[in-house]
Amino acid sequence: MSEGERLAYGIQAVRKALAGGHALRVYLQADLGPRRLGRLADDLARSRVPVERCPAQELERLTGSAKHQGVAARVSGAPVLGEREALDFIASLDEPLLLVLDGITDPRNFGALLRTADGAGVDLVVSARNRNVSMTPVASKVAAGAAEALVRAEVGNLARFLAELADAGVRIVGTDDAAGSSLFEADLRGPLALVMGAEGEGMRRLTRERCDLLVSLPMHGVVESLNVSVAAGICLYEVRRQRLA
């Protein structure tokens, strides 16, 4: 594949890529059953994207997974912004909502975070260039089309970028299990960047120091914390609730 292209697999991810015009070539399992083929037939006919039939073993080799659901696609990756482009993009928005990821290493969590961000109406997802998992086929499948729809940025120095966000009038809210303030007591209106830390480790010290406010989720059961994508969903929809109110 050329630069800017990647592989997506799974029926939902491929359908989203076809609908968005991101699919360049589709790889279809030669003996795909009529039920699965029926879900794709209209999308393939409308898109007129080249289709290559191949055995299930070849799809597994291409995707690196046996859970390809009989279809994969070579897709054009959504453009990833750099620091300056991201700041210019944010400046063009009236009330930006950003999701900032500090060291997410699990591709399934990354994909789930993108899916949640898309559902909650996040304008931009930001991650550190060398501290976050890349957009893998697994992440793309879990994202279920959000990987193609969302605007993303990768920055070289996350703490420095957060400082530039603050200078631009964006409030930085970090999530921390030990924070004294509850998410539901915080004012989350206005331009906002929500920072989610790495699985198990949380935010790095420099990232935490750039936050204007740290919030936690009230936990009432025996578990001490939630999966990062679940926690992000709760936080982002609380932001939306306050904005709508």
Instruction: Quote the domain boundaries for residue 235.
Output: 80-244
| pLDDT recorded at residue 198 | 86
Q: Are 235 and 122 in contact (CB under 8 A)?
A: no
Residue 120: C-alpha distances to residues 145, 174, 178, 205, 228 (Å):
14, 17, 25, 27, 15
| pLDDT recorded at residue 51 | 92
| pLDDT recorded at residue 78 | 66
| pLDDT recorded at residue 223 | 67
| pLDDT recorded at residue 43 | 86
| pLDDT recorded at residue 153 | 93
Distance between first and last Cα of the chain? 47
| pLDDT recorded at residue 157 | 94
Q: Are residues 118 and 147 in the same domain?
A: yes
Among 21, 56, 76, identify where a domain stops: 76
Among 46, 76, 106, identify where a domain stops: 76
Among 31, 53, 76, identify where a domain stops: 76
One digit per residue, the tens of pLDDT, for the chain of length 245 reads 444 677 888 888 888 788 777 789 999 998 887 877 787 888 888 888 999 999 999 999 988 888 888 898 888 766 689 999 999 999 999 899 999 999 999 999 999 999 999 999 999 999 998 878 888 888 888 887 777 778 899 999 999 999 999 999 999 999 988 788 899 999 999 999 999 998 778 889 999 999 999 998 887 876 667 789 999 999 999 999 999 98
Q: Are residues 172 and 219 in the same domain?
A: yes
Q: Are residues 85 and 121 in the same domain?
A: yes
Q: Are residues 156 and 202 in the same domain?
A: yes
